[in-house]
Every structure is written in structure tokens, then in C-alpha cells.
Structure 1
Amino acid sequence: MAGEEQLVEVGGRTLRLRNLDKVLYPSTGTTKGELLHYLTGVAGLLLPHLRDRPATRKRWPDGVEAGPTFFEKNVPRGAPSWLRDVTLPAPGSTKDREMVTYPLIDDLAGLMWAANLAALELHVPQWRVGPRGAAKNPDLLVIDLDPGPPAGLPQCAEVALAVRERLQEDGLDPHPVTSGGKGMQLYAAVSGKQDSATVSDYAHRLAEELEKSLPRLVVSRMNKNLRKNRVLLDWSQNNGAKTTICPFSPRGRERPTAAAPRSWDELSDPGSLLQLEFGDVLERIEDVGDPLASSLPSGGATGVGPKVPTS
């Protein structure tokens, strides 16, 4: 019944789960219990992408069709004592003038805790924290492909292939993730030896270059009046203060979609490319696992990618 609580043991942690039959996605009747089922199924693939990255959560306490919804950075009151956290200067603030204590979600119990609070999205930066809690240099470069209507996934796939070719010229090995929203992201491992500003500047130059070579399809500027039927190459996600939806994270959309790593072969047939829902992701990981796992850093690994060119 609605309002009931259950005490469960997850990896030696005790959790108090509430309202498991609460509908979070009314269009499909998807409940909090089904959200927890999805997260349990993908935890082994999702957690390496979350590990040691401060997690910003977007919460929908009353489901995706009702308010309020809000981003949450700080660890809220009542969080379990076993939840790891890290205190860092707030994004954009003067150093040490304002601090935020973020959760570090690195086990299934942490995922269950976040989902129990109706945190339907998990957003992370492209950098990790070290063992003493200091922010490291980024180990990922991300290009966010955001289509302006009526453009959609087919146009994103066409642009993604062009971005891939350009990144490979510089020795980077990008991999696509459909966002669960409108577009997709491309991730590439970088060395961890350059700061966020250097990586962001490189991504900006790349976006401007592709805008010049594909002017009818690509835009590098945020102006909304420029984006109709074109794909924004959002290079700004590499700013050290920015976060991006984590691969395998659920999304707070009308339907229960998720950010889903894809293969380049799938992008070769853009007309059949769709955003994937929970059941789709759970079914496909039995066959393909995580297409990102072999080439992107996980579990604190560093130095697995190249430096980006600085000019």
C-alpha cells in the first residue's frame, strides 16, 4: 500500500524504502519499485561511471508530471552515516568562500538511497576526487549534441560521425551515449594531466571548426535563434563547474528513458535510432554489456587517454 515502509539490507547497509508502488512516470505507470529494479540491474555498469565523482541529483518527489522538481547538490538531512561524501568549493564561487558537501555514490546501497528520494537523474563532472578529497584534472572529454527542432537523433548521429572522425585525427577515441532526452553525448578518455580549462578550450575550438565545415548542420554558439534544425555541439560541458548526465542514469522525462551507451554500428542506421527505456537497457546489457567499459576510465584509473592538442 502507498505510504508503507520497508527495511532492506543492501550490501550490508540498512535502508528504509518508502512508497515503492508510487507512480513516478504516469504515462507508463512506472513505479518507484520499478525504478529500483532498473538500478539494481544496471548497477554493475553504472557505478564505475559514478565512482569518485561528486553527484548532483535531480529529484521529482511527486513524479515527472507533477511539481516540484529541483537539483540537489548538498547531502540532505537524514542521509545515512555510511554514505561517502566530499566537501568542495561551490561551482563558480571564490575559492573556499562557499562550500558544498556532495555525496559520492559508489555502491548499490547509495543508488537505492538516491532513488528512494526520487532522484531520477544523476549528473556528474568530467573529473574525480582523489583519496584526500581534492578535485583532480578531468579524465574525460565530453561533447554534448543537442538538436534544435525539428532536428533529432538522426541529425545527431550524422554529426557524431563527423565529430568522431575529427577527434580520431587528434588521437582520441570517442564513444556515443544516447542521452535519454533529445540528443546524445560523445565521451573520450583524456590523460588527466591537463586542467578543465585546457580540455574545454580544445572542445570549443573543435566545435567552431565543425560549425565552419558543416554550417547547415552544426552550431557551436548557444543562441537559440541559431539552433533551428541544427545540432548544438555543447563544448561547455567540459567546464570544471559543469555536470553531465551519467551513462546508465535514468531520466526524468515523460517515459522512463535512460542515458544509454551505444555502438558506432547503431549510429550507422540513424533512421532506426531511438532513445532507450529501462526495459530496453536491461535487455541489451545481457548481450552487449557496457560499450564504454573497455576504453573509458573507471574506478579511479588515470592516464588511459591522450592529452588534447593545445593549439
Structure 2
Amino acid sequence: MTPITEVAGRRITLSNLGKVIHPATGTTKGELMHYYATVEAAILPHLRDRPVSFLRYPDGPGGQLFFTKNPPPGTPAWVATTPVPRTEDPRARQVMVQDLPSLVWASNLVVEFHTPQWTASSPAVADRLVLDLDPGPPATVVDCCRIALHLRERLAADGLTAFAKTSGAKGLHLLVPVVPTPSGQVSAYAKRLAVEAEAELPRLVTHRMTKALRAGKVFVDHSQNAAAKTTATPYTLRARERPTVSAPVTWEEVEACADPADLAFVMDDIAPRLERYGELLGPLFDAGRAGDVP
């Protein structure tokens, strides 16, 4: 019999709760869903009012992975959707995860959450800038931390405040609250930062995606500021053998990082971190912290 639960007055059909999703730790789908419910207060502000894209991995990271922007078949009528500007389909809509029932419903699909840098009310007008620091082996997140500190100072010189989170994979993301600005302008500025970083640290940084240029360097990916692009949402689980999380970190942790394990967090780490540090990315929602994009 398929279990049905009620969350805040919404009936949600659940499935395969005992299925192992993250094989390295034996983490089940039910445990994954419990994680999302536990971090509801932290993750929902990052999802709310933004069109959400899902990377689905219902059979675990070793199974089929598929990225979807359209509302999945069977999406309940009470799950909010929003029109989105897509040139290939002017009628396109995407899901918005606005509340706990929507979060539980989406987590039952087994997903990574990915969101753009703009809200549904202002398509292609960014309220944050993102720089994705991706290490090319043998570089690691330790090298990303060095570049993150450099970029934090560079952003500060322009009156912008950076916050850091792990990607949940190999690298780091820098998030910067900005006064609402057309995505094209934010993208151009982010690219200038990446190009400058490569010019100043040519042995450590590349701003180009070409894999042949990335060995032993940190790729400063500026492209996720484009209106059509998305970034892994803070607190999302990732489709990995272990249930790794894109987790906010302190700048003290970035400065002290000496081993990749220092900044590798799984879902069981997050509740204690929230208790210890609070929501490190809370300032992203403070209009007073947003800066003007040069």
C-alpha cells in the first residue's frame, strides 16, 4: 500500500521510503526526505519565489540522472508554478517551492534543487551574483579557498560582500547580494572578475571552461549569472555516493582549510551547523547588504 502523509493540510503520496539512494552511507529515501523537512527554515528562503529546476536521481547517483525545468508529470495543483522566459517555449512554466508541503513533495522525487539568480517577479533581473570555483585535479577545494579569499577582497573593493558555501561536490560557491540589476550586466561584471583573477594569478586560475586549460587550476565559472543558468541551491543534497550538501561556511573555515575533508559536509552535519552558526547566508536577504554592480 502506498503511504500518504498530510503536511500542513496537503495530502502527499510517498513512495519507496526504504530505498537506498546514497549507497556509500546506506542513506534511504526516507532519511533524505527527513533531512529536507529538518532544514525547512534554512532552505525555503533560498527556494521561495524562484523558478526551480530539478536534477532528479531516483535510483541514486549510479542510476539515471535527468535535469528538468518543466513541472514533472503528476505535479499537484496546489504546487505553485510560474511562467518563465524561454525562447523555445513562450508558454513555459516552472515549479516554485514555496512552503513545507511543496518541499516534501519535491523531495519525494529525489532531487537536487537548482535556482537562478533572480526571482519570478523580476525575470532576468538578478538580486545576487555567483562565482562557482571549480578545481581541476590535482587542485582541490583547498586551492578554491585561496582564490575565494582573493575574490572576496576584490569584491569588497567594489563595495560588495561575498558569502561562501561548498558546492557539495568539489568546489566552492561565492554568493554576493546585489541591488536588482539586469542579468546581462551582472554576467559581464562577473566575467571581468574572473578574467582579472586569471591575469593576477595565472598559475592558479582560469576563466575559461576548456578542460585542457584547467588541470591544476581553479576555474572561476562566471557563466551561472546568465539569466538562463542556475546554481545548486544552498542546503540542497547532491547526487553523490555520500549525501553531500551544498553547505554555507564561515570565512574562518575558508581561511583555515588545509584538507578537502575540512569542507566536506553531509546531511547529518547540517542541523548541528545551523545550531552552532545560525543561517550564515541570511544576510543575502537583507536589502541593506546588497551592493551596486559596477
Between 1:8-17 and 1:140-149, the stretch displaced more is 8-17
Cα offset, 1:89, TM superposition: 2.6
- Residue 261 of structure 1 aligns with which residue? 248
Q: Are 1:206 and 2:202 matched, yes or no?
A: no
- Residue 293 of structure 2 aligns with which residue? 308
For 2:237, which of 250, 265, 278 is the aligned residue? 250
For 1:77, which of 58, 73, 76 is the aligned residue? 73
Structure 2 gap segments, 5+ residues each: none
Q: Are 1:100 and 2:63 matched, yes or no?
A: no
Higher share in helix: 2
- Residue 154 of structure 2 aligns with which residue? 166
TM-score where L is the length of structure 2: 0.96
For 2:14, which of 14, 17, 24 is the aligned residue? 17
RMSD in angstroms over aligned alpha carbons? 1.4
For 1:276, which of 265, 289, 292 is the aligned residue? 265
Deviations 1:241-281 (A, max 9, x none): 10000000110011100100000000111114222000011
Cα offset, 1:129, TM superposition: 1.2
Partners of 2:229 and 2:124 in 1: CA distance: 14
Percent of aligned positions that are identical? 45
| Aligned amino acid, residue 274 of structure 2 | I
Give the secondary structure class of the aligned counterpart of 2:155.
Answer: helix
Partners of 2:57 and 2:120 in 1: CA distance: 27
Deviations 1:5-33 (A, max 9, x none): 22111122111111110111111110011
Deviations 1:208-240 (A, max 9, x none): 011010011111111111100100110111000
- Residue 289 of structure 1 aligns with which residue? 278
Q: Are 1:123 and 2:108 matched, yes or no?
A: no
For 2:143, which of 144, 147, 155 is the aligned residue? 155
Per the alignment, do residues 99 and 148 of structure 1 end up closer, same or farther by CA in structure 2, a change over 3 Å counting? farther
Partners of 1:222 and 1:135 in 2: CA distance: 26
- Residue 44 of structure 2 aligns with which residue? 47
Q: Are 1:241 and 2:228 matched, yes or no?
A: yes
Give the secondary structure class of the aligned counterpart of 1:36.
Answer: helix
Q: Is the contact between residue 161 and residue 289 of structure 2 (CA under 8 Å) also seen in structure 1?
A: no
Partners of 2:175 and 2:263 in 1: CA distance: 19
Deviations 1:79-120 (A, max 9, x none): 111100012232xx26xx54321000011111111111122x
Cα offset, 1:136, TM superposition: 5.4
Q: Is the contact between residue 53 and residue 104 of structure 1 (CA under 8 Å) also seen in structure 2?
A: yes
Q: Is the contact between residue 54 and residue 103 of structure 1 (CA under 8 Å) also seen in structure 2?
A: yes
TM-score where L is the length of structure 1: 0.91
| Aligned amino acid, residue 142 of structure 1 | V
Large movers: runs of 4+ above 3 Å: 301-304
- Residue 29 of structure 1 aligns with which residue? 26
Cα offset, 1:303, TM superposition: 6.8
Partners of 1:64 and 1:76 in 2: CA distance: 19
Give the secondary structure class of the aligned counterpart of 2:93.
Answer: strand
Number of residue pairs aligned between Structure 1 and Structure 2: 292
Partners of 2:257 and 2:151 in 1: CA distance: 15
Partners of 2:6 and 2:27 in 1: CA distance: 23
For 1:180, which of 145, 159, 168 is the aligned residue? 168
